């Protein structure tokens, strides 16, 4: 339900179209095939083949035994034996493209988000997928700028931000990261931010990697560790593990802590709601919220009265992550928000 405000007839605020575009890079699916060859020949040849098979079987048995000894740390009483050094499992998994947490240090919520995203490996990327009323896969839409999206309405799946939304829904409950890649990168649940220049060195599994420029974010993915990420990349592909792409318009990363709601956190309501550079509808537009979005409010003030959606209110709230103002009409809550300071 919308918040309670002073009712008055009025018109809704203007809106322009907003699309979320994911990064388009080439992806090759390489497959290796193997064949078997039979042998025929005289009894002597058969004997030689039998000997070779027995030798190979003995070698396999010996290798298996050594592997088990290495796994268990040696058989009881075999204190003199020195087991082989264990491989770097994270590095091995990363090289194999395995989707799981590949480095230590992540929070329990972040590890659960990684696991939830990895469960979707092989699911279709579909433009607009994952943005239904509840987190989860949905059928996509045709992206007018991408011919590869022609079949997206037939494919059940996620786009980049739909996958992130679903992963953190599974990890933390509720719907902590709604909206598109831009909203997720600027989410009030951000615990820490990392610049593009810092690369992957300070990152932990579950951190969100983003791409964009000029204040726009068009793609987002989940870091696994060891220079790998899981992403819903582009139309015509499926959710995959990829190498982190630090070049181009890589914009940095953010660490999410949805279990701790930041002070001053509220939700918008309505569709295609614009924010403004000043607390006035005639000032420059800054950003449009296509649907309900979690935001952090730094302060509020009385300014230009606005009539919209059948309400009139002169209170405006400042959103520090966006550097913009929004009329309190579109903030869920009373006309003057409780617990929010008055702006100077």
Residue 177 within a domain: yes
Residue 170 within a domain: yes
Contacts of 256 (CB under 8 A, 6+ apart): 109, 110, 113, 168, 176, 177, 187, 189, 190, 191, 206, 207, 208
Residue 66 within a domain: no
Instruction: Write down the pLDDT at residue 302.
Output: 97
Q: Are 71 and 90 in contact (CB under 8 A)?
A: no
Residues 246 and 301 in one domain: no
Residues 101 and 217 in one domain: yes
Contacts of 292 (CB under 8 A, 6+ apart): 178, 267, 268, 269, 270
Residues 121 and 175 in one domain: yes
pLDDT string in tens for the chain (344-residue length): 444 444 333 333 443 333 434 444 433 333 333 333 333 333 444 444 444 444 444 443 444 333 333 333 333 333 333 333 344 555 556 655 799 999 999 999 999 999 999 999 999 999 999 999 999 999 999 999 999 999 999 999 999 999 999 999 999 988 999 999 999 999 888 889 999 999 999 999 999 999 999 889 999 999 999 999 999 999 999 999 999 999 999 999 999 986 555 668 888 999 999 999 999 999 999 999 988 888 889 999 999 999 999 999 999 999 998 999 999 999 999 999 998 999 99
Instruction: Write down the pLDDT at residue 262.
Output: 62
> pTM for this structure?
0.61
Residues 283 and 225 in one domain: no
Residues 208 and 113 in one domain: yes
The span from the CA of 110 to the CA of 152, in Å, is 29
Instruction: Write down the pLDDT at residue 200.
Output: 97
Q: How many domains does the chain have?
A: 2
Q: Are 164 and 197 in contact (CB under 8 A)?
A: no
SS (H, E, C) the chain: CCCCCEECCCCCCCCCCCCCCCCCCCCCCCCCCCCCCCCCCCHHHHHHHHHHHHHHHHHHHHHHHHHHHHHHCCCCCCCCCCCCCCCCHHHHHHHCCCCCCCCCCCCHHHHHHHHHHHCCCCCEECCCCCCCCCCCCEECCCCCCCHHHHHHHHCEEECHHHHHHHHHHHHHCCCCCCCCHHHHHCCCCEEEEECHHHCCCCCCCCCEEEECCCCCCCEEEEEEECCEEEECCCCCCECEEEECCCCCCEEEEEEECCCCCCCCEEEECCCCEEEECCCCCCCCEEEEECCCCEEECCEEEEEEEEEECCEEEEEEEEECCCCEEEEHHHECCCCCCCCCCECC
CATH for 233:
3.90.1720.10
Residues 251 and 267 in one domain: no
Instruction: Write down the pLDDT at residue 341.
Output: 94
Residues 228 and 268 in one domain: no
Residues 319 and 296 in one domain: yes
Cα angle 18, 24, 26 (rounded to 5 degrees) comes to 170
Residues 141 and 286 in one domain: no
Domain that holds residue 301: 263-330
Last residue of a domain, one of 256, 288, 321: 256
The span from the CA of 181 to the CA of 271, in Å, is 17
Residue 63 within a domain: no
Contacts of 282 (CB under 8 A, 6+ apart): 304
Residue 277 token pair: 């550079």
Residue 268 within a domain: yes
Residues 227 and 286 in one domain: no
Residues 103 and 249 in one domain: yes
Last residue of a domain, one of 256, 282, 297: 256
Contacts of 18 (CB under 8 A, 6+ apart): 180, 272, 288, 290
Residue 146 within a domain: yes
Residue 243 within a domain: yes
Residues 252 and 291 in one domain: no
Residue 38 within a domain: no
The span from the CA of 316 to the CA of 336, in Å, is 9
Last residue of a domain, one of 234, 256, 278: 256
The span from the CA of 321 to the CA of 268, in Å, is 14
């Amino acid at each position: 339900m919308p918040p309670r405000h002073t009712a008055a007839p009025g018109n809704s605020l203007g809106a322009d179209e907003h699309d979320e575009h994911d990064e388009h890079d080439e992806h090759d699916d390489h497959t290796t095939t193997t064949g078997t060859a039979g042998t025929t020949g005289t009894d002597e040849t058969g004997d030689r083949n039998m000997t070779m098979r027995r030798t190979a079987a003995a070698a396999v048995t010996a290798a298996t035994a050594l592997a088990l000894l290495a796994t268990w740390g040696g058989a009881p009483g075999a204190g003199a034996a020195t087991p082989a050094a264990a491989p770097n499992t994270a590095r091995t998994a990363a090289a194999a493209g395995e989707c799981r947490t590949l480095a230590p240090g992540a929070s329990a919520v972040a590890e659960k988000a990684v696991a939830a995203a990895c469960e979707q490996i092989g699911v279709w990327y579909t433009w607009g997928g994952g943005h239904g009323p509840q987190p989860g896969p949905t059928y996509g839409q045709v992206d007018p700028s991408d011919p590869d999206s022609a079949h997206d309405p037939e494919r059940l799946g996620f786009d980049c931000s739909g996958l992130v939304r679903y992963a953190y829904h599974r990890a933390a409950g509720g719907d902590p990261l709604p909206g598109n890649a831009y909203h997720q990168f600027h989410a009030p649940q951000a615990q820490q931010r990392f610049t593009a220049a810092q690369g992957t060195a300070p990152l932990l599994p579950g951190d969100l990697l983003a791409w964009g420029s000029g204040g726009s974010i068009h793609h987002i993915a989940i870091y696994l560790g060891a220079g790998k990420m899981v992403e819903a990349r582009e139309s015509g592909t499926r959710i995959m593990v990829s190498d982190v792409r630090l070049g181009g318009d890589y914009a940095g990363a953010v660490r999410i802590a949805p279990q701790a709601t930041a002070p001053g956190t509220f939700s918008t309501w309505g569709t295609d709601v614009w924010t403004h550079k000043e607390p006035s509808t005639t000032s420059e537009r800054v950003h449009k919220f296509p649907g309900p979005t979690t935001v952090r409010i730094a302060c509020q003030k009385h300014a230009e009265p606005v009539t919209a959606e059948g309400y009139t209110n002169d209170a405006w709230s400042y959103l520090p992550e966006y550097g913009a103002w929004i009329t309190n009409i579109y903030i869920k809550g009373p006309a003057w928000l409780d617990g929010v300071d008055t702006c100077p």
